[in-house]
Amino acid sequence: MKGVVLLRGVLDREAQPAKRRVVLDGPSVVALGQAVEWRRTAHTSLTGVAVGPQSWETALRDALALGLDTADLVVTDDEGEVEVARTAAALAGVIGLDPQIVFAGSAASDSGSGTVPAALAGILDWPLLTNVVWARQMDDVLQVETIGGPGRRRAYEIRGPCVMTAARLALPPLYPPLARRLAAARAQIGHSEPDFDEAGPPSRPRIQFLGYGPGRPRTRYLLKPTAAAKPGDRLSQLMSGGAHRSASKLDGDPGDLARQLATLLEDSGFLAS
Amino acid sequence: MAAHVAYLGTPSWQDRGWGAAWEIDAEDGRAAAFAVSGLLERSSYAAILSGDSPMCREVLGRLAGRLRLPLTARVLSARFDDDCLEVVRAEEEGRRSAKYRLATLPAVVVCDSDASCAPPVARGKAVDIDTIVVRCPNAVRPVSERALGPSEIALDEADVVVAGGRGIGQEGFRLVEALAGILHGAVGASRVAVDLGWAPRSAQVGMTGQTVHPRLYIACGISGAIHHAFGMRDSDFVVAINNDPAAPIFKFADAAIVGDAAAVLAALVEALAARSRPDAVLPRDVARAVA
């Protein structure tokens, strides 16, 4: 069974304005890293698919250098980020022809909503596994481990096609060798038009963008240090984000203190798990 | 517009005049999506809203994909305007918001965890919350489940972090690991402890290490220099153990214990081990450290 990675391009805002280009977003890189690890055990080909404008081609070339065998870009005028069902339908048109293993980042292919993989799984009627830590292939069985709560892992065994979203865990950085970079620069990238079926979304956007507004207020932006405090204390107040708790200090016999603390932790439910 | 709105998920807004409110008890998102689409066929709704949980995202995502409905997620507020639904959603990790108009109804809306969604319909009588139990023989079920050891849990996913500093000494880190094991948490360390080689670099909490926000943070023998506090200040509940009553860490503590951190930690490990598993035997090296 082949592997597919859902990719998303974002403008590299860390580069100098004159050198800015579209690069892979963080979740896509995590998904790609998991897919490359999976391919070591699956011995099959890996394709990257993105739904977006022509400018995303540079990001797909980066993905090719990082380990993809082929890459397809479904070209849309907009960035296809708002209409989740529309993006998923376009992806399904490319992916759904063969049963495949689909890797997605936690926010790949949409604007951080994390719903495109679910919509894709809904269209194709394939199972969806979220928060995947690693995946490996043992003959025709896909073995997957996912985060099952804080400090817990769940293992799954899947036969057949499946959509997975990678957990937001750090992976070792990928450094493609120069030869792969040069090969990726020359590689052919498949281009296609979005293929919506008749029941699919209409061509005119059903979701209209009206404008941007402010972000969520954050405590550290609202914090004003005490005017009367010394400069060092003001710096401390700013860096602590205003966090200041006033616990009364307990001292005495270590055994007594430990027993009090143990009772507190037990009453607070930290021993229940 | 007298819109008929359905709410899916564990309802926290029971009195907001939903047309219907459902709580889905399902172990498989695919089966739950089938059940909800069946409910939608029986009545017409202008919008289907849900809370922000992995199951809700999967169910509404599948629903939008199957029925080709417009979907928006991370929605902070929503209101009806001229037969359209106007939503404000968080974008770029909350650094900005954006307003959209959903012209085609019904619409599917996944609310943000910070949402204060104004009720799209007038407040009315609280609806009964129907619990839908979905059982699916073909559900994807885990074949096994396990708890991670303290050395395996990544700091940023841990619910509990037990961190050690210079004040507990190298041997004290055995106790830190033991306590983290009992509480199913991760081991953290101050920069000084990492520089001394007592803990790996990946365990460092602070400005030059990792930023954590667990439910419980236990700082043992850490003075609480601002560089360290920067990385743990968002913890829900902070316990600080230090022998210096003037240590800055106490400014960030919900429970402040003045005393020898290693001695308190040893007694705490012993007490908690007895309470969590009365018949358990401490590992030999930990038992030696406790003694």
> Is residue A3 very low, low, confident or very high in pLDDT (cuts 50, 70, 90)?
very high
Q: How many CB pairs under 8 A join A and B?
A: 271
Looking at residue B240, its amino acid is: A
**Hey, of A113, A136, A226, A266, which one would you mutate to test binding to chain B, going by the most B CBs within 10 A of its CB?**
A113
Using the Cβ of B268 and the Cβ atoms of chain A, whether some distance falls under 8 Å is answered with yes
**Hey, of B58, B72, B96, B99, which one would you mutate to test binding to chain A, going by the most A CBs within 10 A of its CB?**
B58
| Residue of chain A with shortest Cα separation from B103 | A206
| Residue of chain A with shortest Cα separation from B232 | A240
Arithmetic mean of pLDDT, B87-99: 82
Mean pLDDT lowest among A4-8, A135-139, B38-42: B38-42
Residue A110: what pLDDT? Answer: 57
> Is residue B135 very low, low, confident or very high in pLDDT (cuts 50, 70, 90)?
confident
ipTM beyond cut 0.85: no
Sheet holding A46-52, edge to edge: A190-192, A70-75, A46-52, A2-6, A100-104, A162-166, A128-138, A141-147, A152-158, B144-147
Arithmetic mean of pLDDT, A156-185: 85
> Is residue A225 very low, low, confident or very high in pLDDT (cuts 50, 70, 90)?
low
Which residues on neighbouring strands pair with residue A157, listed in sequence order? A143
Using the Cβ of A208 and the Cβ atoms of chain B, whether some distance falls under 8 Å is answered with yes
Contact B252 A240 (CB under 8 A): yes
**Hey, of B157, B204, B215, B228, which one would you mutate to test binding to chain A, going by the most A CBs within 10 A of its CB?**
B157
Cβ-nearest to A156 among B29, B140, B239: B140
Mean pLDDT lowest among A142-151, B93-102, B231-240: B93-102
Which residues on chain B are in Cβ contact (under 8 Å) with A118?
29, 57-62, 65
What H or E segment, with its residue span, contains residue A263? helix A254-267
Cβ-nearest to B69 among A85, A146, A270: A85
Query: Shortest Cα distance from B245 to chain A (angstroms)?
Result: 8
CA distances from B37 to A44, B11, B75, B125, B208 (A): 36, 19, 22, 25, 49
Residue A167: what pLDDT? Answer: 86
Residue B13: what pLDDT? Answer: 44
Residue A89: what pLDDT? Answer: 87
| Residue of chain A with shortest Cα separation from B57 | A115
> Is residue A6 very low, low, confident or very high in pLDDT (cuts 50, 70, 90)?
very high
Which residues on chain B are in Cβ contact (under 8 Å) with A156?
140-143
Cβ-nearest to A254 among B30, B215, B260: B260
Helices of type H across B47-204: 54-67, 169-182, 191-195
Q: pLDDT tens across A121-142, in order? A: 999 999 999 889 999 999 889 9
Q: pLDDT tens across A91-111, in order? A: 898 887 787 899 998 765 555
Arithmetic mean of pLDDT, B76-93: 80
> Is residue A222 very low, low, confident or very high in pLDDT (cuts 50, 70, 90)?
low
Place of tokens 């991370």: B74
C-alpha to C-alpha distance for B201 and B178, rounded to whole angstroms: 19
Which of A50, A48, A123, A49 lies closest to A89 in space, CA to CA?
A123
Q: pLDDT tens across A236-255, in order? A: 666 666 666 767 778 788 88
- Per the model's pLDDT, the better-predicted residue between B26 and A157 turns out to be A157
pLDDT at A61 over 90: yes
Cβ-nearest to B256 among A119, A207, A247: A247
**Hey, of A208, A249, A260, A268, which one would you mutate to test binding to chain B, going by the most B CBs within 10 A of its CB?**
A249
Mean pLDDT lowest among B26-30, B56-60, B221-225, B241-245: B26-30
Query: Shortest Cα distance from B256 to chain A (angstroms)?
Result: 5
